[in-house]
Structure formats: structure tokens, C-alpha cells
């Protein structure tokens, strides 16, 4: 029985350290997710509405490291929304004469 409280203390200490690291890096993770979502939305919008390719074709153009970014086509507004689960979401809309522009962050 004397070994059990020791392990509970060790597990609690590890959990506290991991929570501290997550809290410390959360802002950096969120900023990177915002950049990735914005980049993904802008590139996918240009692929879809400037180049005229299908969304399935555009999904194959993701850069390495963009696996977490999901893309959603919105044909009614000629826009693409990109999101990183729980962290960020951005959209880009096609505007004739201007191409695809990022919408302001929400």
C-alpha cells in the first residue's frame, strides 16, 4: 500500500506539468493554426474559383504539415472555409477582378 500514494503523486505531478506546457504553448498553437487555416482557405479558394478545379482536386494540393486543416466549399457564396479543429477557422471568398481574399477573422 505504501507504493500506491507515491504513484498517484507522480501521475498528478506529470499531469500538472503537461497542463502547464499546454497553457504555455496554447497561444503559439492558436497563432499557427490561424495562419494555417488562412493559408489553406486562400489557396483552396484560388484553386477552386480562379483555376476552376474541383474541390476534391484542390484538397490534394495541401502542403506538408497541413493534414489537420479541413476544407469546406461554399458554392453559394463562392468561398472556401478552412479550419483546424478546436483552434482556428478562416474563410476566403472569390471576388471578380480581385481573386480570392481572406475574410476578416471572426
pLDDT (tens digit per residue) in 49-101: 999 999 999 999 888 888 899 999 999 999 999 999 999 999 999 999 999 99
Does residue 25 have a pLDDT over 80?
no
Q: Output the pLDDT for position 6.
A: 82
CA angle 11, 8, 13 (to 5 degrees): 35
Q: Output the pLDDT for position 106.
A: 74
What is the reported pTM?
0.75
Average pLDDT, the chain: 90
Q: What's the CA gap between 21 and 25, in Å, rounded?
A: 6
Q: Indicate the domain borders of the chain.
A: 3-102
DSSP 98: T
> Mean pLDDT, to the nearest integer, of 29-33?
88
Amino acid at each position: 500500500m505504501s507504493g500506491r500514494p507515491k504513484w498517484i503523486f507522480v501521475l498528478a505531478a506529470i499531469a500538472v506539468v503537461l497542463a502547464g506546457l499546454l497553457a504555455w504553448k496554447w497561444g503559439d498553437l492558436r497563432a499557427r493554426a490561424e495562419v494555417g487555416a488562412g493559408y489553406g482557405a486562400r489557396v483552396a479558394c484560388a484553386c477552386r474559383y480562379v483555376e476552376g478545379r474541383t474541390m476534391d482536386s484542390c484538397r490534394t494540393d495541401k502542403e506538408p504539415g497541413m493534414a489537420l486543416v479541413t476544407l469546406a466549399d461554399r458554392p453559394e457564396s463562392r468561398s472556401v472555409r478552412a479550419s483546424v479543429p478546436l483552434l482556428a477557422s478562416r474563410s476566403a471568398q472569390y471576388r471578380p477582378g480581385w481573386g480570392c481574399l481572406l475574410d476578416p477573422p471572426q
